[in-house]
A = this chain, B = another copy of it.
Amino acid sequence: MPRESEIISRLRRAAGAGEGVLVGIGDDAAVIKGQGAKDSIFCCDLLIEGVHFRREWTAPGLLGQKALAVSLSDIAAMGGVPKYAMISIAIPGSCSPQFIDELFEGLFELAGASGVSIIGGDTSSSRDSLFIDVSVVGECESGAAVTRRGAKIGDTVYVSGSLGASAVGLSLLENGCRLDASQSRDARSTAVLKHLSPKPQLKLGGALGERRLASAMIDISDGLSTDLWHILDESDCGAVIDADAIPIADCVRSIASSSPAIDPLRLAVDGGEEYELLFTSATENHQQVLALSDSLGVAITAIGNIVSDKRLQLKLQGVLEALKPLGYQHII
């Protein structure tokens, strides 16, 4: 069974370079040279029942939002602004019309809030699973797209928001915890909601791109360790991450305080589906990055540095240890 990374490598070799293709297969999104002052950004993301979600775990509106959110996050990770989306959906007979209506309502709500127009798509029946593929078209200033390959030795590594909650939320769902509309926002429901309803960092991604503050960027879909590896691999460098600096979500610390089996740091380092932005920036940009964090009201934390030694290391209690990409690996 091939891994997703093997399929992507094969496709990348086969695809070659096309006319006007600034960024092709293998980044968060593709970038095409525009005719004017803007370049176009394209991406698509699948949500497959039984692989990415279970219908019984989520409200249909949240599922619709997530289907769009994960693609919007890819545009943000290129430093772009999303503009248009197409929705392909294959619906099994077991989905009621109401389920589909609510799914689209959630999706349209996020589209509206994100300034995204739904311009098309395709619908079909499906024998068994619900299948959603959302394609998004975005744009950025000409030449301003942020890829995974621009990290430079000495750059600071930053992450937005806080980490670990989505992995805890997934674990809670797997163990029978469900969202309850009347539930207060306790630590458990906060974690579950982070998993079921991630909020892509659209303003931050767009601003980092527009101000050309990020040298490399990716969204955390597979886990900090794996996604940082993608940047290091493409940028041909290494990194040292300070364990104490990694922003662990409050709800993760809270749940861990009564569940000794939970290691908050491990979840923050390896947990996937966070849809936070992980980026690198030259040290002289530090004050601008902090100012951007203030003006957008988005936490941004410096967690380490890019180094020439092509390893990824975690500094834990003063000792350096190898940090392996233990985040989610897509096994096909």
Using CB atoms and an 8 Å cutoff, list the residues of chain A in contact with chain B: 1-2, 4, 7-8, 10-11, 14-21, 24-25, 27, 29-30, 32, 34-38, 40, 42-46, 48-52, 83-84, 86-88, 90-91, 93, 97, 100-101, 104, 108, 116-129, 131, 133, 135, 137, 330-332
- Report Cα–Cα, A38/B118, bound state, in Å: 21
B52 touches A124 (CB 8 A): yes
A83 CA / B20 CA spacing, docked (Å): 10
Q: Determine the residue in chain B with the shortest Cβ distance to A117.
A: B18
Contacts of A124 in B (CB 8 A): 4, 46, 48, 51-52, 330, 332
Q: Are B48 and A131 within 8 A (Cβ)?
A: yes
Besides the known contacts A42-B86, A44-B86, A91-B332, 10 further A-B residue pairs in the complex with CB atoms under 8 A apart:
A4-B123, A18-B83, A18-B119, A19-B83, A25-B118, A27-B120, A44-B135, A46-B124, A46-B133, A52-B124
Contact of A128 with B129 at beta-carbon distance under 8 Å, contacts A14-B104, A15-B117, A32-B119 already known: yes
Chain B residue with minimal CB distance to A126? B48
Measured CB to CB, the closest approach of chain B to A165, in angstroms, equals 23
Chain B residues closer than 8 Å to A18, beta-carbon distance: 83-84, 116-119
Q: Which residues of B contact A122 (CB under 8 A)?
A: 44-46, 133
Enumerate 30 A-B pairs (CB-CB under 8 Å) in ascending A order.
Answer: A2-B97, A11-B87, A14-B108, A15-B108, A15-B119, A21-B84, A24-B117, A24-B118, A25-B121, A27-B120, A30-B120, A32-B84, A34-B35, A35-B36, A42-B137, A43-B86, A44-B86, A44-B122, A45-B88, A46-B122, A46-B123, A48-B126, A86-B135, A88-B133, A90-B131, A91-B332, A122-B133, A125-B330, A127-B129, A128-B129
**Neighbouring B residues of A100 by C-beta, 8 Å:** 2, 7, 332
Alpha-carbon distance between A8 and B14 when the two chains are bound, in angstroms: 35
Q: Which residue of B lies closest to A331 (CB)?
A: B125
